[in-house]
Structure 1
Amino acid sequence: MCRSIYLQTGISAALLLVGGVLRHLGHADIADRLWLLASAVVLTGALIDTFMAILRREIGLDVIALLSIGGAIALQEYFAGAVIALMYASGRTLEQYAENRARREMSALLGRAPRTANRYEATGLAQVSLEAIQPGDRILVRAGDIVPIDGQLLSDVAAVDESALTGESLPVSYAKGSMLASGIINAADAFDMLATRKAEDSTYSHIVHLVEKAQQSKAPVARLADRYAVLFIPLSLGIAGIAWLATGDAVRALAVIVVATPCPLILAVPVALFCAMSRCAQHGVLIKHGSAIEQMAQVKTLFFDKTGTLTGGKARLSGILAAPWVTQEEVLRLAASLEQMSSHAIAQAIVAAAHERGLELTIPTSVTEEPGAGLAGRVGNVSVAAGTRAYVSAQCEKPAWPADLMAQTGEEGNAAVCVAIDGKMSGLLQMADEVRLDTPRAMRLLRAAGIGRIVMLTGDRSDVADAIGGLLGVDKVMAQQTPASKQETIALARADGAVMMVGDGINDAPALAAANVGVAMGARGAAAAAESAQLVLLVDRLDRLASGVRICRKARAIAIQSAIAGMGLSVGAMLIAAFGYLPPVAGAILQEAIDVAVILNALRVLRLEKTSPAARLPHDEVRRLNAEHARLVPIIDRIRRLADRISALPPPAIAQELLWLNDALHEELLPHESSDERHVYPRVASLIGGDDPLASMSTAHREIFRLGRKVETLARNLLSDGQSETALHELRHLLYALEAILRLHFCQEEEMYHNLSA
């Protein structure tokens, strides 16, 4: 179809030009024949398009083009017919160009899909098809190559370009052991990786499959354009008929029909909506069906799944509680050493937390495991048990101290791993599925984008769901939901307007299919969820959904604006033509100008939500800043422990802790905050914009310095003048205050850095 449109335009332009030359040379008959041929070529194409539209049970807006070109031929206005034909064909060519441009980003995904991989074999390196790659194969990725399959990095470091999947323009570095997604590009030296999935199960293969389905979906023209076309076609024919009947001049009727062709509806609306699909794809939001754009633009109620959508979906160490006779670091070190022998997700999270804190782990011996309950074994010369309270309590004495803490942990939605050392209950590791860093920002942006009601649907317990829902400020929490009840809830909500559902798991698939707009977390969600949804988030960023909503709302507004403006201009031109002030040839040129104007207006969608790469914080810098925080967290933990135990410590131990505290403040914490204020904040402020966007964050720095100086002064006095109860009481309060503001400040900074890297 694309080639035929271009061919029609070329033939009609050539025949019109040659005919004009021959007419100037006095060969009027030959010129008329050439102009007739030009009209016939385009008329034939329009007839075919109209017939195909009728077979698809669609309104054929090309019917006006048929009448105008056919009318010009019938009235022997051959030159006018050729001009109308050229204007019509060139308009369709312009439409095709705009549509192709709008699809470019999605097509690029398909064009760059890798077909082969370099696999290490017994005889050396061999290039094999992707279908031959199996989990466990060792793969070489050369500089500039696309990572062909999901896998684990075996080399010490890799720098990759993730722009095709995430929009991040700068290379991102990964360390040995990191998981790499297929579809990213090696931006530095060659590296080795271990395949962990088959090609058909890889991230990029899944995305390509979704893109292919999106491109095969029906063009998003019918609903919005055809509603207006139902009125526009009779209006055009009515004005033409009245002009003919009132004056008896068929040329006037032809002029009216000409200025109504081609209608901006068949140009501006699809261009705007295809451009919206393009812009959303650049933000990591894949729209599988064009009709979802209009639905998404009208959504007022949004349903969220909890686990894996609002939260990270993985357990993380959120707190350590230790008995008086052991430190928190020792509890974590011994538990993590033992948990190295388990493949359970919580065990892996405990080991990861110990590595983050730089703890030296020991290989345990004599390990026994009760699946789902816990492990027991020896770490060095110490016997250790870790797991559920029932499992650990069966192997040691039962002190009273963990009981209240266990109840508190459950109320907060956390899981608890009890740790016994040498037969004594000695610690409690609090594990939580934490709220994603981008979730609060996503909630704020979605409400700002026009979402009026946000509901959390989850199969989790009511206490856990209420804790998360209250933290995020959702309008309603619906806990202990089954897949069937989720689907029923969505179906009932649709009676009040368009509904959007966001989820990631297999159990969310029925609800996603039931919603007007289902959104799947495609970056790490289940394939069933992505298949059931109309939208797929290709990047692991929930806040990108707000960008998609804004783009769809603005694109729909621009589409309607273009359609109404085009129709208004066409109606004005029709009235002028009806009164005899606009002949057919001039009308054809004027209508072409109207078409160009509305298409250019529709192409404004391509500029929506555009941000410069310079306006983002590089991912490597964010990781470095977060790593600095992770290095300082153990110091903050120790400040809290000192505050908890300072009254019970003997004077020599207090003196030792105070000396450590002075060193930690002078050498670690305060220099870090000072460096942030001098070096990091100016860069961040320039990205945010405004006169002083980080005033409140700088105020937190000043408060940290004030508390730090007070703690330092009081500690110095205690070391020199003796340890009075009043002074110790005052120091405890200062330590609690310093610990609280440091934790809050770190969380604020990490969310800010994360948002700026979006």
Structure 2
Amino acid sequence: MTLLLHDRLNVGLLGLALLGLVSGLVLWLSGQPDLAKIAWTAGVVPVLGALCVEIVRSLSNGEVGLDIVAALSMSAALLFGETLAAAVVALMYSGGTFLESFAQGRARREMSDLLSRVPRTATRHRDGALDEVPLDDIAPGDLLLIRQGDVAPVDGSVESTRAMLDQSALTGESMPVRLEHGQEVMSGSTNAGEAFDLRVTRRAADSTYAGIVRLVEEAQKSKAPMARLADRWSLLFLTVTVVLATAAWWFTGDPIRAVAVLVVATPCPLILAVPVALVAGLSRAAHFGVLIKGAKPLEALARIKTLILDKTGTLTDGRPQIVSIDRHGDMSGDDILYFAAALDQASKHPIAQAIVAAARARATALPVPENVVETPGGGVAGTVEGRRVVVGGAGFVASQAGVAEPESAVVDTGSVIVSLAVDGKLMGHLVMADALRPGTADLLAGLRKLGVARILLATGDRRAVAEAVTEGLGFDAVRADLTPDQKVMLVLAERKTGAVMMVGDGVNDAPALAAADVGVAMGARGAAASAEAADVVLLVDHLDRLLPGIEVAQRSRRIALESVVAGIGLSVLGMIAAAFGYLTPVQGALLQEGIDVAVILNALRALRIVPGQTGRKARSPEDAASRWSLETTSTPHAPEGRI
């Protein structure tokens, strides 16, 4: 609401300044100079008043900005009767402020949408019946029913025999995990298996998901403010302006010369060039699928020195894929996939759906399975083309088909093994894992060429998996087993050596995205929480969009600086001419207007930026086949077999 009122105020001030200038010109041309001066003054006073309030607020925060020069020029022009010059300055200043406000936009929206993923009600067991109750009515000890596809609304423990949960949004583990009776369930986890009962251990306000929301809010509050690019030049330019105006008045005794100097010195090249170039950069970046939430994040993106990447769903694809097919019988690899996919059509399990998708990608026509029986957390048994087929974890297949697992079946670190038995014989295994995104090595090399000095991996997954996926990629550091608050601490620690960019896609990444100088979210399939907390959203599910995004930001900032230097150089020459009496205040204002037009035209060159690396180069699937993110099955959360 505050940002909306601020935007409306800027629009109102611009409208008043324009109305005052135009109406004054009409009155002056109609032979009523006194009324014209009143109209010009009326257009200047609201802008000057708002400007003075902003100056007081900035000074109270210990900030000295270029607004002081604009206030001096308007005040001096009104004081000495140069109302037309004051009106021109007021229009230029309010126009620049409006553009800057438009460029920044709403860099942050309220995090209320973060909780929208969790249901507002829950299904509670009570006196042998099921009731839908609000979350606030749930107390520790209550027994809830979590149906398939439901999101756990509160923290609790598994009351049923077992539960299959997708915790990827919270922990970064892309594979669903199986929890046994009594194991803890984090709120925000999605039920990927059959319905189960959950014994509540914490109220909704004290749950894991609510804690992540609070982390995001705290991280946003602690984020260091970034000064406007224009303000970094302010003190020097202010000093030069005041000295030159004072000298002109002192040595000539003519206050109008000082007014002319101040009018020419109104820092519109700084006030206008920066927002125009950055707004153009925002538009250009969006053309390449990079949504940047304002001018400040774009400017920060141009100065990134450290990049921190999440793993699952960011560095990796986040979805299980078939790495290889191991044969242990007389079936070919295609036949193993055929029978496994045919039976798995009857299952909604993510692993099963990945197997079906792989078969269909090969244009394989799959028959309809019969007599299907699915065991949650184990696998599926049924009949395919008259043959008895069992697909699932090694233990499940062994018990259902009466076969023994051969010693040659070796589980690679982090991979998931899906066994297949046909007619009581073990035919082979489908080795599945989370794929590294294609072209990752080229991406990291391109980022280093753009000036990113340090690249780190930060993941909630185990160290063995993190090291396996980053082997040979040249990461400067790998941080594993991280909780959301530990990711925030890592970001804050790295910020001591330079601007930090954090890239993530899950709810667990949202606090770190908020704490970083630039938070980047994978918008195509990432969690809404990460997109809300981020400064930049990749609109397409390709990490290589970072390359054109950073390059557009760097070149936009460079164009803004070029415009500033050229504009200030011309302004200084005009100030000198005004000091020697060659320019009146009105002429100085018009000269400054011409400089502004030139500066804006130059700043608009950012709309034509063509990045040298746009990430459009086609990647061969084989480039990704040699490196995988490996999700292990050896932890208590991911027991042997199908998970």
Where does residue 7 of structure 2 map in the other structure? none
Q: Secondary structure at the match of 1:353?
A: helix
Correspondent of 1:333 among 335, 338, 341: 338
Which residue of 308, 311, 314 maps to 1:306?
311
Deviations 1:193-219 (A, max 9, x none): xxxxxxxxxxxxxxxxxxxxxxxxxxx
Shift, 1:428, TM fit: 0.7
Aligned residue number for residue 354 of structure 2: 349
User: For residues 519 and 592 of structure 1, do their structure 2 counterparts lie closer, same or farther at Cα, with a shift above 3 Å needed?
Assistant: same
1:491-511, Cα deviation, whole Å (9 max, x unpaired): 221111111111111122222
Q: Write the distance in 1 (CA, Å) between the matches of 2:366 and 2:489.
A: 50
User: In the alignment, which residue of structure 2 is the partner of 1:520?
Assistant: 521
Q: TM-score, normalised by structure 1?
A: 0.59
1:2 to partner: Cα distance: 2.8
Give the 3 Å change call, closer, same or farther, for CA 223–453 of structure 1 in structure 2: same
Distance 1:355 1:336 in 2: 9
Shift of 1:389: 1.6
Question: Aligned with 1:553: secondary structure?
Answer: helix
Equivalent position of 1:8 in the other structure:
17
Match of 2:229 among 224, 238, 242: 224
Structure 2 equivalent of residue 265 of structure 1: 270
Note if contact 2:260-2:588 (Cα within 8 Å) is conserved in structure 1. yes
Tell me, in whole angstroms, the C-alpha distance in 2 between the residues paired with 1:61 and 1:103: 18
- Aligned residue for 1:585? 586
Alpha-carbon distance in structure 1 between the residues aligned to 2:622 and 2:526 = 26
**Aligned-partner residue type, residue 40 of structure 1:** T
Shift of 1:515: 1.8
Q: Secondary structure of 1:580's match?
A: coil
Output one character per residue of 1:452-497: Cα deviation in whole Å (capped at 9) or x when no partner.
2211222333333223212544333333333333222222211111
The aligned counterpart of 1:380 is: 385
For 2:38, what is the secondary structure of its paired residue? helix
Residue 399 of structure 1, CA deviation: 5.7
Residue aligned with 1:548, SS? helix
| The one of 254, 263, 272 aligned to 2:259 | 254
Residue in structure 2 matched with residue 40 of structure 1 by the alignment: 41
Residue 430 and residue 378 in structure 1: after superposition, are their counterparts in 2 closer, same or farther (change >3 A)? same
- CA deviation string 1:1-42 (max 9, x = no partner): 4355245335424533653564xxxxxxx53x2452244123
Matches within 5 A, 1:110-259: 222-259=227-264
Query: How far apart are the structure 2 equivalents of 1:291 and 1:370?
Result: 53
Q: 1:316 aligns with which of 316, 321, 325?
A: 321
Cα distance, 1:458–1:97 mapped onto 2, change above 3 Å: closer
Task: Describe how 1:362-381 pairs up with structure 2 within 5 A.
Answer: 362-381=367-386
Alignment pair present for 1:403 and 2:431: no
Tell me how far apart the structure 2 counterparts of residues 564 and 377 of structure 1 sit (CA, whole Å). Answer: 75
Corresponding residue for 2:283? 278
More off after superposition, 53-62 vs 310-319: 53-62
Q: Provide the secondary structure at the position in 2 that maps to 1:597.
A: helix
Q: How far apart are residue 420 of structure 1 and its match?
A: 1.4
For structure 2, the 5+ residue unaligned runs are 1-9, 108-224, 627-643
- 1:302 to partner: Cα distance: 0.6
SS in 1 for 2:451: coil
Aligned residues: 496
Q: What letter corresponds to residue 292 of structure 1 in structure 2?
A: P
Shift of the alpha carbon at 1:309?
A: 0.8
- Cα pair 1:309 1:502 within 8 Å, conserved: yes
RMSD (Å), alpha carbons? 3.5
Any idea what the Cα deviations from partners look like across 1:75-119, whole Å, max 9, x if unmatched? 44x5xx31x13532453475478669969999xxxxxxxxxxxxx
CA distance 1:46–1:486, shift in 2 (3 Å): closer
Alpha-carbon distance change, 303 to 97 in structure 1, aligned in 2, over 3 angstroms: closer
Cα 1:419–1:556 shift into 2, 3 Å: same
CA distance in 2, matches of 1:356, 1:263: 58
CA spacing shift, 1:101–1:222, aligned 2, 3 Å: closer
Contact 1:503 1:519 in 2 (8 A): yes
Alpha-carbon distance in structure 1 between the residues aligned to 2:363 and 2:581: 86
Asked if the contact 2:578–2:584 (Cα under 8 Å) also holds between the matched residues in 1, the reply is: yes
Distance in 1 of aligned mates of 2:472 and 2:489 = 26
- The CA deviation string for residues 304-350 of structure 1, in whole angstroms up to 9 with x for no partner, is 11111111111122221222422222212221222122211001111
Within-5 A mapping of 1:552-631: 552-609=553-610
Change (3 A) 1:578 1:750: farther
Q: Contact (CA 8 Å) 1:559, 1:602: kept in 2 or not?
A: yes
Q: Which residue of 2 aligns with 1:661?
A: none
State the alpha-carbon separation in 2 of the partners of residues 457 and 289 from structure 1: 26
2:418 alignment partner, SS class: strand
Instruction: Give secondary structure in 1 for the equivalent of 2:319.
Output: coil
The verdict on how the C-alpha distance between 1:748 and 1:318 changes in structure 2, with shifts beyond 3 A counting, is: closer
Q: TM-score, normalised by structure 2?
A: 0.69
* Partner residue in 2 for 1:740: none
Give yes or no for contact 1:286–1:536 (8 Å, CA) kept in 2: yes
The AA in structure 1 aligned to 2:18 is T
Shift of 1:63: 4.3
Q: SS state of the match for residue 403, structure 1?
A: coil
Taking every aligned residue pair, what percent have the same amino acid on both sides?
45
CA shift for structure 1 position 419: 0.9
- Cα distance change, pair 88–395 in 1 and its aligned pair in 2 (3 A): same
Of the three residues 740, 747, 752, the one matched with 2:622 is 747
Structure 2 Cα separation of the partners of residues 746 and 72 of structure 1: 67
Q: Distance between the aligned counterparts of 2:585 and 2:620, measured in 1? A: 71
Structure 1 SS opposite 2:297: helix
What is the distance in 2 between the residues matched to 1:98 and 1:513? 25
Q: Which residue of 2 aligns with 1:424?
A: 425
| 2:407 aligned partner, one-letter code | A
Is the CA contact (8 Å cut-off) linking 1:102 and 1:278 kept in structure 2?
Answer: no
